Amino acid sequence: MYPLFNTKAIENTPFLFFTGKGGVGKTSTACATAVSLADEGKQVLIVSTDPASNLQDVFSMEVGSHIQQVESAPGLYAVNIDPEEAAATYREKVVGPYREKLPAPVVAQMEEQLSGACTVEIAAFDEFSHLLTDDEIKDRFDFIIFDTAPTGHTLRLLQLPTAWSGFLEESMHGASCLGPLSGLGEKKALYEAAVDALADRRKTTLILVTKLDKSAISEGERAAKELFEVGLTNQLVVINGVFQLTDNDDEVANKFYYRQQEANKEMSEELRRLPMYELPYIPFALTGIEALRKFFHYSYQDDQITMEEDVELAPLPRLHVLVERLSEKDHGVVMTMGKGGVGKTTVASAIAVGLAMKGKKVHLTTTDPAAHIEYVMRNNSISEQVTISRIDPVKEVESYRKSVLETAGADLDEAGLAYLQEDLHSPCTEEIAIFQAFSKVVDRAEDEFVIIDTAPTGHTLLLLDASQSYFQEIERSTGDVPDSVKKLLPRLRNREETDVVIVTLPEATPVLEASRLQNDLVRAGLTPSCWVINQSFAASHTKNPILRTRAKAEQTWIELVLENQEKEVVLIPWMEEEVVGLDTLKKLVEEEE
């Protein structure tokens, strides 16, 4: 389909940035690239700025915050930058001087303002800016590889002159990207040099890693466009996990192959204009130097895979067990949460259908524009029990931006207004705007079930809660918290009224990210009641040797979820049919015979 990706297929620049949606294999691809370049006799440094970094797992050695040589790979060095730790240090630097001078609610809001994803990313950018500009490090290494690139939003913020002014000390509106930049004053020259290096095609290549999955491709398209707009124009795409049929295929393998081909057909022309490479779907774990060396040269024909034994999987309940428990109540809130691509929209829809089948009145609300949800609910056999609303993120965010600009932006000069407008294009702003729309819908939970797909993070809840306390003490017209939000927070934190369901895949990155999400929610006073492990090949009973080997690898992550979760855990097998339409949703919540 596309040429194979390897270090000889591309023109390598000194800085290589790997980016992509969680779970697409960007860390494995970055590490294999690093090993390949080192094997060519180059001096290579690989840097991870991913909070869920698993460099230590991939290299089978401890990787800390200091540069160290990778065992069994002469010339290769690695370092783990912990962005959470960097963010904590950064946060204390900004907030510390105010602890004894301002009221506790104000300090609490400042801390939460600096606890979001934007702060983590800016703190990480601070760390790798030194690596991009440090002459000693640049002279020491031929290549510096970064696992996880900065977003276009962060780079645009750093390029705005207002980011370096006192504007940040005087303006807050409830989003969380204003605060993170408030401690950057002395870093302007450093960051300008780093941004210049990123935009230099002779120095930097951006490698977008994706999979033949509609959600992952969509995320790749968005990232490519956003980063191109801020100067990172030297881009290429690596499609990871391309599945090939073998002589031992079954229906599961055939369907899996077909879905990938369909996703490839729907790729946008904009993404297709970029240089495109592929890597195979591999049956073995990418841990250890030898496995990484094999990755770029793997061939199904050269590897005679045999696996006679069955995949042993601890018996886990299916989704109908969760629906049965929820149906013991007559009303309440159910929030499905998880990273993009894990299937939380499907799980939310299936729960709604399952409760309706038990005679419950249900309202399903989602920010997913996929039309198949409405298609399912148009069926007469279910529509009497289920109503849906599709919150349009574009509409809600535009309404929120307009409101903020009319209040917080009314008296700003041109530079201040430009900064505020950029801040209002952040992921944090979008989540708060959507959350306020959710708050109106959840009032319906007084006498029916409200199922929320794509729920707010714990950070958003804490930010709004801190804002509420702040505005109780200091009256301000901007950033006020709506009454519906004030009413909603206690309801979401009440376990008798609300069930939080975390959805994940039986893979490393989704499980690690889901664990961080749970910690984030617990910090905000929401304790998840259930984990759903979705799309398990181990539970699909496939006979394809490649997929069976992959299924065996799932066991490690399923067992980890079971070890670390005291909550209910349910498992959904990989479905041969794409879960679109009422019939397939029913299959997810029906008891197995």
Single out the catalytic residue among 27, 49, 454, 504.
27
Sheet holding 362-366: strands in order across? 386-390, 362-366, 449-453, 332-337, 498-504, 530-536, 568-573
Residue spans of alpha helices (H) in 408-507: 414-423, 427-442, 458-473, 483-493
The question of whether 23 is a catalytic residue gets the answer yes
Query: 52: which DSSP letter?
Result: T
The question of whether 26 is a catalytic residue gets the answer yes
Phi, psi (deg, nearest 5) at residue 328: -70, -15
The question of whether 50 is a catalytic residue gets the answer yes
Single out the catalytic residue among 28, 129, 210, 504.
28
Single out the catalytic residue among 7, 29, 50, 346.
50
The question of whether 152 is a catalytic residue gets the answer no
- The residue assigned the tokens 């038990």 is 358
Q: What is the spatial distance between Cα 405 and Cα 424, in angstroms, rounded to a whole number?
A: 9
Amino acid of residue 446: E
| Sequence-distant (≥ 6) Cβ neighbours of residue 379 within 8 angstroms | 582
Single out the catalytic residue among 23, 75, 341, 416.
23
The question of whether 509 is a catalytic residue gets the answer yes
Find out whether 181 and 175 touch, Cβ atoms under 8 Å.
Answer: no
Residue 35: half-sphere exposure toward Cβ, Cα within 13 Å = 25
Find out whether 86 and 127 touch, Cβ atoms under 8 Å.
Answer: yes
Find out whether 563 and 514 touch, Cβ atoms under 8 Å.
Answer: no
Write out the DSSP string of 57-117. HHHTS---SS-EEPTT-TTEEEEE--HHHHHHHHHHHHHGGGTTTS-HHHHHHHHHHTSSH
The question of whether 25 is a catalytic residue gets the answer yes
Single out the catalytic residue among 205, 509, 540, 542.
509
In the numeric block, which tokens belong to residue 6?
């390897």
Sheet holding 143-147: strands in order across? 68-69, 76-80, 44-48, 143-147, 15-19, 204-211, 235-242, 276-280
* Crossing angle of the two packed helices 393-407 and 414-423, in degrees rounded to 10: 150
519 CB neighbour count, 10 Å cutoff: 11
Q: What share of the chain is helix, strand, coil (3-state, %, to 5)?
A: 50, 15, 35
The question of whether 460 is a catalytic residue gets the answer no
In the numeric block, which tokens belong to residue 320?
């109908």
Amino acid of residue 70: V
Single out the catalytic residue among 21, 26, 211, 344.
26
Q: What is the spatial distance between Cα 72 and Cα 74, in angstroms, rounded to a whole number?
A: 6
47: enclosing H helix or E strand: strand 44-48
Find out whether 341 and 500 touch, Cβ atoms under 8 Å.
Answer: no
Amino acid of residue 333: V
Find out whether 279 and 295 touch, Cβ atoms under 8 Å.
Answer: yes
Find out whether 278 and 296 touch, Cβ atoms under 8 Å.
Answer: no
Strands 68-69 and 76-80, sheet pairing? antiparallel
HEC string for 108-173: HHHHHHCCCHHHHHHHHHHHHHHHHHCHHHHHHCCEEEEECCCCHHHHHHHHCHHHHCCHHHHCCC
Q: What is the spatial distance between Cα 55 and Cα 80, in angstroms, rounded to a whole number?
A: 8
Residues annotated as catalytic (active site), given as ranges: 23, 25-28, 50, 509
